[in-house]
Amino acid sequence: MSAPHGRPKGGQPRHGAAQRRTTVTSFLGRGEGTSVIVALRLARVGLHLGYGMATAALVYPLVGRLTQLRLKQRWSCQLLGMLGVRLRAESALTPEPALLVANHISWLDIFVINAVAPAAFVCKAEVRGWPFIGWLCERTKTVFMPRGSRSAAKLASEAVVGRLRQGWRVAVFPEGTTSDGGGLLPFHAALFQGAVDAGCRVQPLALRYLDGRGRATGAAAYCGDTTLLQSLRRIAATPSLDALIEFLPPLDGRGAERRALAAQSESAIGCALGRPAPDGEQAETVRGRVSLAAA
């Protein structure tokens, strides 16, 4: 009878790969090994951010829109890869220009969308003052949407229309904030006015984050009291994370009414996610942190 697998006859431990793996594990430890991987991922992300800022400062002013979009797409794909996020895209993307509208779970949503359909984003005005991120957003065609000022909001809306008429895709998060991904918040109709004024298509996008077994996971969620650094570390420490983006049938903004576009987009995304949108008090209980989206 042969000896059990992993041991030679005589019962003495067999030297080889299994022992080497044991030695490495005891040297680092499971937790320490994970910490090393997270630290390496975060260090690469920091360097990548510096590279992005240099590109925005030195290259963007010298190239046209199509090259800018390709650079943004490549940078976003690289960022996802550095964080260990696998991207999956389903269905077809409508030709540009178009207003892209998506449910909002995480700051990572921006780079997931940019990796497939590079766009100019609409975000809250406060982001302009964020270290590094605000500077980078300002130089990559971001439209900043102020709160509480109708005149400033009108100017921002005109900027969205201008981007669309120039041939850009413009992306917005009509919920106005992030959630934990377990529900869908009511869509703000004002963010659809740009598509109406520009007479362009509206493309709903359904975003989901899945674990290694294909189940919904909150690993990427950026809501509640979670800080950006905590969210970044959690994503970097997740062993297996898939970002799934589904492009739903586009809507025609020509001659449409913005409330109808908002309701149709909300319904389409809710159906795709299998998560009906809450109303009234329910919406308030699941509302997360105000994020890069404009309310």
Where do the domains of the chain lie? Answer: 17-286
| Model confidence at 80: pLDDT above 60 | yes
CB contact at 8 A, 116 and 89: yes
Query: Which amino acid would we find at residue 231?
Result: S
8-12, 13-17, 159-163 — which one is most confidently predicted on average? Answer: 159-163
CB 62 within 8 A of CB 167: no
Q: In the prediction, which pLDDT does 31 show?
A: 53
Q: At residue 252, does pLDDT exceed 60? A: yes
Per mean pLDDT, which range of 53-67, 72-86, 171-185 is the poorest?
171-185
pTM for this predicted structure: 0.81
State the Cα–Cα distance between residues 45 and 37, nearest whole angstrom. 12
Confidence of residue 221 (pLDDT cuts 50, 70, 90): very high
Query: What Å distances lie between residue 261 and 137, 199, 202, 250, 275, CA to CA?
Result: 27, 12, 8, 10, 19
Indicate whether 270 pLDDT > 50: yes
**How would you class 221 by CB atoms within 10 Å of its CB: exposed for 0-12, middle for 13-18, buried for 19 or more?**
buried
